[in-house]
């Protein structure tokens, strides 16, 4: 008889939004087997293999009982100015920060992170100011639980604002699904940037939006891709459709400013950004950001006195 961490099995199931019955169907195990595993962790080798495959983690991770960063969803969202000074900073895990969170805003990333990581961040900001659409890089830090690996994505949202989203990679399958739903990302995007994040899984056809995109579209449910394109002004529809097709087929990213009409008939201008994510050499997912830039367009047209 083998064993797994029963608390972790239950947490992974809930993180994926599955019931015990759904997990039983996914793993081809019986409902009673799932109940027993979540109660005391006892299972056969075949059951352990099935759970490991369903959750996308190794046998070792499935058996770990001590709490490490692998057991938590880790997300940092921050906004920096062009010099790398933090304008806002939120995280889902306060324990991992090198300094208290209330001491971060106003400081430079070089004051918070080691030289290698802060230089990556500052170089990314420089590249974005020079015209790059988005920057993505990976790095590692040695924490109390050992070496941990992280992925950072950075985009420019306004002239002097750069949004970065950092996720912990060791728990990537759960993190990717929870990233768009995390309160840290939702609050930063919605309240600070008038922006929303979106993601399309090209394997499952699942579409994920943050709450702010629903607010921009003024809808209550997620439309299909083709339905979503109809919200753009008629002259902009061929542009966004071609850009999205090139993104999904060739991985060509885009960064466009286009006229937009909400479900309630309001005329907006939006900045829409898209990039591709690969598994080996195949594009499996596309992600991006939509930002309401109407106020920026209006300010550019206002006469100065």
Domains in the chain: boundaries:
2-65, 69-179, 194-305
Q: Is the pLDDT of residue 146 over 80?
A: no
Strand partners, 150: 139, 168
CATH number belonging to domain 2-65: 1.10.260.40
Is residue 101 packed enough to be buried (19+ CB in 10 Å), middle (13-18) or exposed (0-12)? exposed
Higher pLDDT, 124 or 255: 124
**How far is 95 from 184, CA to CA, in rounded Å?**
15
Closest by CA to 61, choosing from 119, 148, 123, 141, is 148
**How far is 156 from 82, CA to CA, in rounded Å?**
9
**How far is 63 from 3, CA to CA, in rounded Å?**
7
**How far is 129 from 114, CA to CA, in rounded Å?**
23
> What ranges make up the beta strands (E) of 131-264?
135-143, 146-158, 161-168, 195-201, 207-209, 254-261
Closest by CA to 14, choosing from 32, 34, 29, is 34
Q: Is the pLDDT of residue 174 over 70?
A: no
**69-179 matches 194-305 in fold:** yes
Closest by CA to 54, choosing from 84, 24, 98, is 24
Percent of the chain with pLDDT over 70: 75
Over residues 33-52, mean pLDDT = 85
Over residues 7-12, mean pLDDT = 84
Q: How confident is the model at residue 169 (pLDDT cuts 50, 70, 90)?
A: low
**How far is 148 from 145, CA to CA, in rounded Å?**
8
Q: Is the pLDDT of residue 218 over 60?
A: yes
**How far is 260 from 181, CA to CA, in rounded Å?**
25
Q: How confident is the model at residue 190 (pLDDT cuts 50, 70, 90)?
A: very low
Closest by CA to 204, choosing from 167, 223, 177, is 177
Higher pLDDT, 191 or 244: 244
Is residue 248 packed enough to be buried (19+ CB in 10 Å), middle (13-18) or exposed (0-12)? middle
Over residues 125-129, mean pLDDT = 93
Report the chain's terminal Cα–Cα distance, integer Å: 79
Superfamily of domain 69-179: PAS domain (3.30.450.20)
Q: Which fold has domain 194-305?
A: Beta-Lactamase (3.30.450)
pTM exceeds 0.95: no
Q: Which of 94-103, 180-189, 205-214, 241-250 comes out lowest in average pLDDT?
A: 180-189
Please state the φ and ψ torsions of residue 64, each to the nearest 5 degrees: -65, 130
Q: Is the pLDDT of residue 215 over 80?
A: yes
C-beta separation of 52 from 58 below 8 A: yes
Q: Is the pLDDT of residue 305 over 50?
A: no
C-beta separation of 236 from 220 below 8 A: no
Higher pLDDT, 230 or 43: 230
Query: Quick one: pLDDT at residue 73?
Result: 43
What pLDDT, in 10s, does the model give residues 224-270?
A: 999 999 999 999 999 999 999 999 999 888 888 899 999 999 999 99
Average pLDDT, the chain: 78
């Amino acid at each position: 008889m083998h064993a797994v961490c029963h608390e972790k099995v239950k947490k992974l199931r809930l993180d994926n939004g599955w019931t015990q019955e759904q997990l039983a169907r996914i793993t081809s195990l019986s409902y009673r087997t799932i109940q027993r595993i979540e109660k005391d962790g006892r299972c056969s080798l075949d059951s352990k293999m099935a759970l490991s495959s369903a959750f996308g983690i190794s046998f070792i991770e499935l058996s770990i009982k001590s709490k490490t960063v692998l057991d938590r969803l880790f997300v940092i969202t921050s906004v920096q100015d062009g010099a790398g000074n933090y304008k806002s900073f939120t995280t889902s895990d306060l324990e991992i920060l090198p300094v208290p969170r209330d001491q971060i805003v106003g400081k430079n990333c070089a004051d918070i992170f080691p030289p290698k990581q802060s230089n990556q961040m500052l170089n990314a900001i420089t590249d974005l100011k020079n015209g790059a659409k988005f920057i993505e890089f990976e790095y590692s830090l040695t924490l109390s639980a050992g070496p941990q690996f992280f992925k950072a994505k950075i985009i420019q949202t306004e002239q002097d604002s750069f949004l970065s989203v950092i996720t912990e990679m060791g728990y990537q399958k759960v993190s990717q699904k929870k990233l768009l739903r995390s309160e840290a990302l939702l609050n930063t995007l919605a309240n600070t940037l008038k922006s929303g994040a979106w993601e399309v899984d090209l394997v499952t056809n699942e579409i994920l939006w943050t709450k702010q995109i629903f607010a921009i579209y003024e809808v209550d449910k997620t439309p299909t891709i083709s339905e979503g394109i109809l919200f753009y002004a008629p002259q902009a529809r061929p542009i966004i459709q071609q850009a999205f097709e090139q993104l999904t087929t060739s991985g060509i990213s885009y960064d466009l400013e286009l006229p937009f009409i909400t479900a309630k008939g309001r005329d907006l201008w939006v900045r829409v950004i898209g990039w591709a994510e690969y598994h080996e050499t195949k594009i499996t997912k596309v992600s991006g950001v939509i930002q309401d830039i109407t106020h920026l367009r209006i300010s550019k047209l206002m006469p100065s006195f």
